[in-house]
Amino acid sequence: MHAAARAQRDAFLRKLASPPAVMGILNLTPDSFSDGGRFANVDAAGAHAAAMAAAGCDIIDVGGESTRPGAAAVSASAELARIEPVLARLADEVGVPISIDTYKAEVAARAAQLGAIVVNDVWGLQKDAAMADTVAAAETALVIVHNRAEKDASVDIVADMERFFDRSLMLAAKAGIPRQRVILDPGIGFAKTSAQNRAAFAHIAKLKERGLPILVGVSRKRFLGSDAPELETLPGTIAANVAAAALGASIFRVHDVAEHVAALKTFFTLRIS
């Protein structure tokens, strides 16, 4: 990792000690659930990234493959074709750190070469056997997201989450990824029933006991099913993120940056004072 990227990585990690940190979402996919196709060309992606940076986000999470339920998988080459020109442009034009949302080691390695300082792996090092070593070699920070192959209402999701994180953290340690570069994400909306999403959300406070920063990604998700359709709206998303902040989350992955910067700044100011 180049010295400038290392400094950017370390500054971002220090930021997590005094939250909030807002992560702006930049989907370069044609089929993401909320904004698929809107930023598929380089100019549109660059303009949106610049707007999020101007609105106050602390990092931009770039994704080249949709992770919505039922989305078609794409090859590493297709994912790279989507992200490479955008990452090259953002490195020159946007003054905030970049995260890469991928579970493929090949994509993570190339993104790090192009300046990404965080790998956001929705499979927590457990999908691609090369990912842990790749992250270690690239010296990026790492987001470990809890995930499952499919929903199963009979599963104790909290116990499953704890086992998953134990395994992911073991893989990270074995590869030599420093613990201080690791972030946990309970994976709200990833192969969970509405009841399991509630349980995972409530478990944020307990996850904090691992001594690692917690990221939540609930933006525009109806993760409680038909019981809470308002979560797909901006007020619903803000409310959910503020609730996550109250439980101990410090990083918030969102589509609507300006509104969350204002809301979360207010929450943390009031809570600290």
Report the C-alpha gap between 224 and 239 in whole angstroms.
Answer: 13
pLDDT of the residue at 272: 63
Tens-digit pLDDT string for the chain (273 aa): 889 999 999 999 999 999 999 999 999 887 444 544 566 688 888 999 999 999 999 999 999 987 766 667 789 999 999 999 999 989 878 889 999 999 999 999 999 999 999 999 999 999 999 999 999 999 999 999 999 999 999 999 999 999 999 999 999 999 999 999 999 999 999 999 999 999 999 999 999 999 999 999 999 888 777 676 777 788 889 999 999 999 999 999 999 999 999 999 999 999 865
pLDDT of the residue at 35: 47
pLDDT of the residue at 223: 79
- Which residue matches tokens 């690239």? 138
Q: With contact defined as beta carbons under 8 Å apart, do 267 and 245 qualify?
A: yes
pLDDT of the residue at 33: 45
Q: Is the peptide bond before 20 cis (omega within 30 degrees of 0)?
A: yes
Q: With contact defined as beta carbons under 8 Å apart, do 264 and 241 qualify?
A: yes
pLDDT of the residue at 69: 65
Q: Of all helices (H) and strands (E), which one includes residue 184?
A: strand 182-185
Report the C-alpha gap between 150 and 147 in whole angstroms.
Answer: 9
pLDDT of the residue at 224: 74
Any residues with CB less than 8 A from the CB of 237 and at least 6 apart, and which? Answer: 218, 219, 220, 221, 231, 254, 255, 256, 260
Report the C-alpha gap between 136 and 154 in whole angstroms.
Answer: 35
The domains located in the chain, with CATH, are: 3-12+19-272 (3.20.20.20)
pLDDT of the residue at 273: 52
Report the C-alpha gap between 23 and 217 in whole angstroms.
Answer: 9
pLDDT of the residue at 231: 74
Task: Single out the residue of 82, 73, 85, 101 nearest to residue 28, CA to CA.
Answer: 82
pLDDT of the residue at 98: 97
Q: With contact defined as beta carbons under 8 Å apart, do 103 and 122 qualify?
A: yes
Q: With contact defined as beta carbons under 8 Å apart, do 125 and 169 qualify?
A: no
Catalytic positions, written as ranges = 221, 253
Q: Map residue 163 onto helix, strand or coil.
A: helix
What separation, in Å, do the N-terminal and C-terminal C-alpha atoms of the chain show? 38
